[in-house]
Structure 1
Amino acid sequence: MDHFTRSSLNGFSAHSIDRIHLKRRDEKWIREQLEGSNARFIPLWQSKNLFAEAENPSPVLLSRAHLGESIDLAHSVTLLGEDGDRVYFAVDLPAEEDTPPSSLAELGKFQDLRRMSARLGRRDGALLAYARAIAHWHRRNRFCGDCGSPTAPHQGGHVRICTNPHCRQQHFPRTDPAVIVLVSAGEYCLLGRQTVWPKAMYSAIAGFVEPGESLEDAVVREVMEETGIEVTEVHYRSSQPWPFPSSIMLGFQAKGVKAPLQLNDDELEDARWFTREDMREAFKEGTLRVPTPFSIAYRLIEDWYDAEAATPLRDLSDIVAHIVKG
């Protein structure tokens, strides 16, 4: 399996929307699309997406008529791209209000995307994640980082330009790289847990890449800082957009030296070495949970587990179904 295929299995990663880079510069075309019947708008309020309230919630995508005057209140309206004959826009509504616009509240409920992600199809998840990430960037860049003057959106919302005529600095969307790694040593893999996670939840080791640091250096450093374990090999596996608020998760598998664990920096509440048999028994006892299959963390654990297991991790559904939570 190549990297592209492997990454497409991760949540938020599987939407083939055309981001129409060249059309972003055509302001007349964008204005026409905003008022056209093919436009669909993804509303956000307080960083939440709108979902129809049903047994199987689905994202609410609005026509221009349904959006109505709410578009005039928006902090930002960003062209996302085309998919077939549809043109998609993200609309970030004022987060300062205690309640969303009443006309939209009647259509569904604004809910946290991370909490809803496991119930979404891959296409919907990727589209909503894209909208959430770009809306967050606009909110964080209303003023120029060089001179402090207000910035204004251009190119369909994919650049903000300082309005100070003596500055005119261009600001582009940024993504924060973070590494996540499944470390193994012989028949063991290393999993850790944070205090804020659900009871018994363990996952791969993760952390942000620091300035002037390669991805591989970040893997080695994060594992040492959080667990005291020396990493000897690092292999890239896949990636996943993670718009909470603006990260890209870069997934690795690594080999390390099995040694007693040292929780040095208080990032983790606990960390343990698990064999595959340890994991199966812990699943049965309810003392181990792993992240949802929507996440890259699950895929890294699954890849390692399946490499030498008689029964694939996904086939333990009778055990895993009640313990895999978002």
Structure 2
Amino acid sequence: MRTDTHPHERLAGIAHDRLHAHRDDEDWLDRQWRHPESRAMLVAGNRVRMTEGRIDWVRPTTAPTGVRLLLGDRAGQTRFAVVLGADEGGEDWLALRGLLPTLASGEAEGEATLVLHALGMAEWLHATRFCPRCGRPLTPQQAGHQLVCSDGHVQFPRSDPAVIMLVTFGEPGADEERCLLGRQRVWPERRFSTLAGFCEPGESLENAVRREVAEETGVRVGEVTYFGNQPWPLPASLMLGFTARADSTDIEVDEDEIVEARWLTRAELRSAAESGDVQLPSGVSISRSLIEAWYGDRLPGTW
């Protein structure tokens, strides 16, 4: 059985100090912008500029013109992001999925929370350009963390709660215990993962788990237990992981989001992962953590 941390926790790391109190202090921001030890990450759309396989942290005063976003303090060094136009950048710029191997490695320790912060804010700034109340253009304030229109309506960054769950059936730990994995319509053959979906207004997280499982596979769920969470900034999700105990095993996929679902024992899951008949999500995704925590060890293969 595994005793180390779950793989998805590599993307959490130690949180940086976001320096909230300084976001509206323009004099302080200007001083830190010019400070020789400060560094800035360049973000274009949902891509970050890389150099020789690493994030290209530059002196802020040398950065191209864009929205100045205060990320915070990391080990006594002030970090910014410069949010550029979505069409800027080049071949050496990577989106989040391309960054995952770097962020999960020891060489990039401490940078994952900064990257997730920057990409989440960049996505919000790109998608939120006009006031939803009056339609007027929005202007960044609070070091990029607020948007305000000429009528004074203030918009704040949002995170949408999404549930992601591993459904199991049978006596916990028994050889015949099974887990439920599904394949989305847009995925290639043999690519499977845990089920997931967004929480709706007025709905508890546990009931969101039960509803999503029933809607996508027809399986009824009873007990729901919290597992962990993972920020996923594209578009603006907070993935809330759960394990769920099924009260039924009959599968009827919705044929809309999910086109195939399987019950697998631990032995069947291992065999399918080794043969490639089931291809599992990335090692740093919370989906992979849910699956491997239930299985009790690392599994081979990845998307």
Fold-level match, TM-score > 0.5?
yes
Of the three residues 140, 147, 168, the one matched with 1:160 is 147
1:161 and 1:139 map into 2 onto residues whose CA distance is 14
Partner of 1:61: 57
8 Å contact 1:7–1:238 — kept in the other structure?
no
Displacement of 1:203: 0.8
Bigger mean CA deviation after superposition, 213-222 or 258-267? 258-267
1:110 and 1:277 map into 2 onto residues whose CA distance is 40
Partner of 2:173: none
Partner of 2:97: 114
Cα distance per residue 1:83-106 (max 9 Å; x no partner)? 122111111112245xx3xxxx5x
Sequence identity (%): 39
Q: Which amino acid aligns with 1:144?
A: C
2:191 is paired with a residue whose SS is coil
Partner of 2:174: none
Partner of 1:254: 244
1:184 and 1:280 map into 2 onto residues whose CA distance is 16
Partner of 2:195: 205
Partner of 2:165: 181
8 Å contact 1:12–1:127 — kept in the other structure?
no
Q: Which amino acid aligns with 2:55?
A: P
1:283 aligns with 2:261: no
Cα distance per residue 1:26-81 (max 9 Å; x no partner)? 1210111112212211111131111123xxx21111112442xx12xx1x221111
Measured at CA, do residues 270 and 11 of structure 1 come closer, stay the same or move farther in structure 2, by a change above 3 Å? farther
1:295 aligns with 2:295: no
2:5 and 2:161 map into 1 onto residues whose CA distance is 18
1:216 is paired with a residue whose SS is helix
Cα distance per residue 1:113-172 (max 9 Å; x no partner)? 2123033235223221110000111122222111111222222111112223xxx11111
Runs of 4+ in 1 over 2 A off after TM superposition: 5-12, 118-126, 195-199
TM-score, L = length of structure 2: 0.90
1:37 and 1:136 map into 2 onto residues whose CA distance is 28
1:126 aligns with 2:113: yes
Aligned-residue CA RMSD (Å): 1.9
1:118 and 1:200 map into 2 onto residues whose CA distance is 22
Partner of 1:309: none
Q: Which amino acid aligns with 2:302?
A: V
Q: Which amino acid aligns with 2:68?
A: V
Partner of 1:45: 44
Displacement of 1:174: 0.4
1:281 and 1:96 map into 2 onto residues whose CA distance is 44
Measured at CA, do residues 292 and 176 of structure 1 come closer, stay the same or move farther in structure 2, by a change above 3 Å? same
1:207 and 1:259 map into 2 onto residues whose CA distance is 20
8 Å contact 1:50–1:59 — kept in the other structure?
yes
Of the three residues 169, 172, 185, the one matched with 2:153 is 169
1:222 aligns with 2:201: no
Displacement of 1:244: 1.5
Q: Which amino acid aligns with 1:93?
A: L
Q: Which amino acid aligns with 1:31?
A: D
1:282 is paired with a residue whose SS is helix
8 Å contact 2:41–2:56 — kept in the other structure?
yes
1:216 and 1:255 map into 2 onto residues whose CA distance is 12
Unaligned runs of at least 5 residues, structure 2: 171-176
TM-score, L = length of structure 1: 0.84
Partner of 1:270: 260
1:284 and 1:83 map into 2 onto residues whose CA distance is 40
